Each structure stands twice: as C-alpha cells, then as structure tokens.
C-alpha cells in the first residue's frame, strides 16, 4: 500500500503549549504557593522550632509533587483532581439517573449541558427552520452548521495551500468579532450503515439495469454492511448576541443576531461546503444517538417529538477514565502535546478514518483578539527566557530544550507580527463501545489511530469524561471558553 507524501510546503508548525515561569519545572502559581508555604514555615519556626519537623516535610512533599510530571501535568494537579473526583463519587455526584430527578431538572441535559435549551427558529435568509442552542446561564447562542468536506489528498498543492489560507482568514474574522466567543469543528464517524445502506441502494436500484450490475450491488449490500461508515461533520459557533452597540431586546432578536453573526463567516474556499444549518431535529438526533448509539439510524420522525432533556442519557456514570451511558461505554482523550516538528496538514487522517467503533474528533477553538494575542506571546517569550537564564545560572548552561522552546516562542511572535492569529485550541477524541466487554477493543482501536498520527500525544480525560464527551456535541459547551 502506498503512503500519502505531503510536500514540504504543506507542512505546518508553530504549536506550543503555554508555560508560565516557575522554579524547578513548576508553574508560576505553584511556585508562589510553595514560596508562601516556606514563608509560613519560617514564621512558625521562629515561634516554635519543633513545628518545623512537621511543616517542612509537608512543604517539601508538595514541592516535589508540583515539580514532578504525570501524564503531561504536574503530579500535584493530577492527585488533587483524583481526590476531588473520589469525593464527588462518594457523594454520588458522578452518577446520573433521569428518572430520580425532580422537576424541572429532568427536562435538562446532564452536567455541562444542564443550562442549555433548544430553540427552533426560522431563518429568513434561507426560509428554513434552524435549531439554536441557548445557554440560559450566559445568554449565549450556539449555531451549528452541517458540512460536506471535500477530499484534499488528491487535490493539487496550490488548491490545498489556498484552503489553508482561507481558513486563516476565517480565524482572522473570528478574532476581530467580539460577539464570537469560540468555535469547534467535529467529525463523527459511525461504522456500519447496515439497513441504511440497503435502503439507500433500494431507492436507487433500477430494475432495467444489467443483470451483472444488479447481482454485484446486491452481493455488496449483503456481504459488506459493516465496511461502510456514516461521516457527519459539523461546525458549532458560540455567539454572545449582547456584545454589540445595540443589544437585542428579546429572545427572538437574540436568535436573529446570532444567525446574522454566523452568516458572516464565509467558509467558501476552506475545502468544505456548507450543507445547511442544523435543524432542531438534527440536533436531537446528534445528541441522542451519541448517548444511545442504537438510535443512530432511526428515522427523523422518532426525534421530532423528543424534549431536549430526553435527548440525553436515561442513566450515566462518570468514572475516572470511562463514561457509561444508556448501555454504551465511552472513552474520551484530550490533547497532551503536539509534535515539535513541522507536521503534514493530513496528520489527523488516521483519527478520522472509519474503524470498528463510533468516534468523534473535535477541534475546539478560541481565537484571541490581536491585542490579547500580543500580550500572551510577550509573556511566553519572557517566561521562556527566564527559565533558560535560571538554568544557566545554576547549571552553567541552559538546556537545549529550553533554547528550542525560546526560539519557538520568538517564532510565534514573529508570525503574529506578520498578521497570523494566536489561537487557543485543543483536540478532543471520543470513542464509544456498545458494551463493557468491547471496551478494551475500543481502547486499542483508538490507541492505534493516535499512534498512526506519528507524534500527536494524547491522554485520557481523567475525571472529566462526561464533560469532554459533551464538548464533542453541538450543545454550546466549549472547554476553552470561560
């Protein structure tokens, strides 16, 4: 099998994690906490020397945990999150049973989606109905768009380069629009069209076609229902309709303002086509079939009468590394680190290729405005320089990794000065197995796909499985938007 070779001109880089300056590999906040603890130890020790026998070992242990790394985060943060999750588990806060909830909470989605509600609106531009998700706590609106991405692996280099430039222009438009709070692009791959494939072929089948053609297609439908897959991509944009000089007066005007803002984002030339805005039925289908995969191929009529809260799970358990919901079990992974070398634009292709299990791949964005982006990059350059200088003073020279990190920070600042946008973004992946018995195979399938990206490092969403699961759905939750 031949491999897909990507020209050097179509490789991208500039990925860098934010890292504040701290001592001994610790972050700035952790360094401040440890310094305060040492100061407190000194005050107590002055009053009573015996106290230091207790406080100093505790402070040393905290400093060690803060400096140590575990799964790409400080060991102190990891164990603190683990402790918090165990406390929540003992209080039954990680279990959800819809039937036991009092009214009106039973009409809400669980967890981070509890403040969302579904509005069916009329789009005067197209004359069609549109489903808009309203966050009642922030008054923000989320408008989702179904996409029809075209293949780019066989496209000319110039066309792909043009698509990347156009997407950069879309990000630029987001950075200068104060009403756009965040966006995400999700691709959901569901294997095994099964009856849906047979129904589609039946509608297209012509009785007057050659017998060989009829026999061939019938044999394919009979023998390869699991070789097919349904690919559903969509883009969700979170809009604050009130962030304007003339704020809307009522809910209808807020929805209209949100639709107007999203209509201003031109995706033409990005390598994808807009299929249509999601309807309320589309949103119900996406959300309900995520929690209950068996309902994915149900007809639209079965979703039209569902209440928004009924689209969520009837029962769910948010465990440390898994999320059980309505008879299925999901595992969600979050980005740990991007490769430090230039990578091809098609690096995510293994994650988006059909496998044995349903999978959602989500890129969540928050585009910083130019002024904020400049401030962030200046702080990153200063922090990288301080880390290198501190190491050089104590060990005689800075580590090569610190020098390279400083160069990447300077490169990012130079690109921003040339007009590039600074974007906070993350990668979220969720795979769903139909039973706990299939879960090991689902984990292995996902791990194999991540490894095939050749450099992208991911880790389980420890203690946040339900939240990351919901972040891949068009319900108005973006982990980068506060």
Using the predicted structure, report yes or no on whether residue 219 has a pLDDT greater than 70: yes
Which DSSP string do the residues of 199-225 spell out, in sequence order?
A: HHHHHH--TTS-HHHHHHHHHHHHH-G
Query: Whole domain around residue 377: which residue ranges?
Result: 373-411
The token duo for 461 is: 């969403």
Separation CA 244–CA 371 (nearest Å): 19
Residue 204, in any domain of the structure = no
Residue 379, in any domain of the structure = yes
Nearest to 317 by CA among 325, 328, 306: 325
* Rounded average pLDDT over 207-220: 85
**Around 7, how many Cα atoms within 13 Å sit in the side-chain half-sphere?**
11
Using the predicted structure, report yes or no on whether residue 2 has a pLDDT greater than 50: no
Q: Which residues contact 88 (CB under 8 A, 6 or more apart)?
A: 94
Separation CA 434–CA 140 (nearest Å): 34
Separation CA 288–CA 121 (nearest Å): 20
Residue 173, in any domain of the structure = yes
Contact 179, 239 (CB under 8 A): yes
Q: Which pLDDT belongs to residue 247? A: 92
The string of pLDDT tens digits covering residues 142-194 is: 999 999 876 656 667 778 888 888 888 898 889 889 999 999 999 999 886 55
What's the mean pLDDT when you consider all of the chain? 83
Contact 438, 348 (CB under 8 A): no
Paired residues of 360 in beta bridges: 188, 430
Separation CA 227–CA 220 (nearest Å): 10
Residues 403 and 326 in one domain: no
pLDDT band at 28 (very low <50, low <70, confident <90, very high): low
Separation CA 95–CA 12 (nearest Å): 42
Distance in angstroms between the alpha carbons of the first and the last residue of the chain:
46
The string of pLDDT tens digits covering residues 92-115 is: 889 998 887 777 667 789 999 999
Residues 388 and 295 in one domain: no
Query: For residue 271, which phi and psi values (nearest 5 degrees)?
Result: 95, 5
Separation CA 353–CA 350 (nearest Å): 5
* Strand-strand pairing, 116-122 and 140-149: unpaired
Which DSSP string do the residues of 36-62 spell out, in sequence order?
A: HHHHHHHHHHHH-GGGHHHHHHHHHHH
- Among 69-73, 347-351, 395-399, 400-404, the minimum mean pLDDT is found in 69-73
* Domain tally, the chain: 2
Separation CA 278–CA 187 (nearest Å): 14
pLDDT band at 252 (very low <50, low <70, confident <90, very high): very high
Quick one: the chain helix, strand, coil %, rounded to 5?
A: 45, 20, 35
Nearest to 278 by CA among 313, 310, 235: 235
Contact 229, 354 (CB under 8 A): yes
Residues 134 and 235 in one domain: yes
Residues 431 and 364 in one domain: yes
Contact 198, 221 (CB under 8 A): yes
Is the C-alpha dihedral spanning 17, 23, 25, 31 positive or negative?
negative
Residues 429 and 304 in one domain: yes
* Rounded average pLDDT over 452-478: 94
Separation CA 24–CA 68 (nearest Å): 9
Residues 353 and 407 in one domain: no
Using the predicted structure, report yes or no on whether residue 22 has a pLDDT greater than 70: no
Residue 480, in any domain of the structure = no
Collapsed DSSP state (helix, strand, coil) of residue 148: strand
The token duo for 209 is: 């076609």
pLDDT band at 77 (very low <50, low <70, confident <90, very high): confident
Most confident residue range from 139-143, 265-269, 408-412: 139-143
Collapsed DSSP state (helix, strand, coil) of residue 338: coil
The token duo for 416 is: 């921003």
Most distant pair of Cα atoms in the chain: their distance = 99
Neighbours of 51 (CB within 10 A): 14
Contact 316, 466 (CB under 8 A): yes
Using the predicted structure, report yes or no on whether residue 37 has a pLDDT greater than 70: no
The token duo for 437 is: 């018995």
Residue 211, in any domain of the structure = no
Helices (H), 248-369: 251-263, 280-291, 301-304
Residues 393 and 444 in one domain: no
The token duo for 6 is: 């990507």
Residues 299 and 323 in one domain: yes
Residues 263 and 396 in one domain: no
Using the predicted structure, report yes or no on whether residue 39 has a pLDDT greater than 90: no
Q: Which residues contact 410 (CB under 8 A, 6 or more apart)?
A: 381
Paired residues of 191 in beta bridges: 229
Burial category of 106 from C-beta neighbours within 10 Å (exposed 0-12, middle 13-18, buried 19 and up): middle
The string of pLDDT tens digits covering residues 304-362 is: 889 999 999 999 999 999 999 998 999 999 999 888 888 888 888 899 888 889 999 99
Residue 55, in any domain of the structure = no
Residues 426 and 382 in one domain: no
Using the predicted structure, report yes or no on whether residue 1 has a pLDDT greater than 50: no
Residues 235 and 127 in one domain: yes
Collapsed DSSP state (helix, strand, coil) of residue 479: coil
* Rounded average pLDDT over 232-252: 93
Residues 312 and 398 in one domain: no
């Amino acid at each position: 099998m031949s491999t897909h070779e990507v020209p050097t001109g179509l490789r991208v880089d500039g990925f860098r994690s934010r890292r504040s300056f701290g001592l001994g590999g610790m972050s700035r906040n952790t360094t401040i906490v440890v310094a305060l603890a040492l100061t407190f130890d000194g005050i107590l020790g002055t009053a009573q020397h015996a106290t230091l026998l207790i406080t100093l070992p505790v402070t040393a242990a905290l400093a060690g945990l803060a400096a140590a790394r575990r799964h790409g985060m400080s060991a102190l943060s990891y164990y603190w999150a683990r402790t918090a999750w165990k406390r929540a588990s003992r209080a039954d806060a990680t279990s959800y049973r819809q039937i036991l909830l009092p009214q009106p909470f039973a009409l809400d989605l669980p967890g981070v989606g509890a403040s969302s509600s579904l509005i069916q609106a009329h789009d005067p531009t197209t004359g069609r109905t549109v489903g808009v998700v309203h966050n009642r706590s922030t008054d923000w609106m989320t408008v989702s768009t179904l996409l029809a991405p075209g293949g780019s692996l066989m496209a000319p280099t110039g066309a792909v380069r043009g698509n990347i430039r156009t997407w950069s222009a879309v990000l630029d438009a987001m950075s200068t629009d104060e009403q756009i709070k965040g966006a995400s692009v999700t691709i959901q791959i569901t294997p095994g069209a099964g009856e849906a494939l047979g129904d589609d072929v039946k509608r297209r089948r012509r009785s007057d076609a050659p017998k060989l053609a009829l026999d061939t297609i019938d044999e394919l439908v009979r023998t390869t229902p699991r070789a097919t897959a349904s690919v559903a991509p969509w883009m969700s944009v979170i809009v604050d309709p009130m962030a304007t000089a003339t704020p809307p007066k009522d809910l209808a005007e807020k929805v209209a303002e949100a639709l107007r803002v999203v209509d201003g984002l031109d995706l033409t030339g990005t390598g994808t086509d807009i299929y249509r805005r999601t309807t309320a039925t589309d949103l119900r289908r996406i959300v309900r079939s995520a929690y209950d995969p068996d309902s994915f191929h149900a007809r639209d009529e079965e979703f039209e009468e569902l209440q928004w809260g009924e689209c969520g799970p009837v029962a769910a358990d948010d465990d440390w590394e898994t999320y059980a919901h309505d008879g299925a079990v999901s595992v969600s992974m979050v980005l740990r680190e991007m490769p430090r070398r230039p990578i091809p634009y098609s690096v995510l292709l293994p994650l988006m290729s059909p496998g044995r299990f349903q999978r959602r791949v989500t890129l969540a964005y928050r585009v910083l405005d130019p002024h904020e982006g400049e401030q962030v990059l200046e702080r990153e350059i200063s922090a990288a320089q301080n880390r290198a200088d501190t190491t050089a003073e104590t060990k005689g020279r800075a580590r090569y990794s610190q020098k390279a990190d400083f160069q990447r920070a300077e490169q990012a600042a130079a690109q921003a000065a040339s007009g590039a946008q600074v974007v906070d973004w993350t990668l979220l992946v969720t795979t769903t197995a139909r039973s706990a018995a299939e879960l090991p195979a689902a984990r292995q399938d996902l791990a194999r796909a991540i490894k095939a990206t050749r450099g992208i490092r991911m880790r389980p969403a420890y203690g946040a499985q339900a939240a990351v699961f919901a972040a891949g759905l068009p319900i108005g939750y973006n982990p980068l938007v506060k």
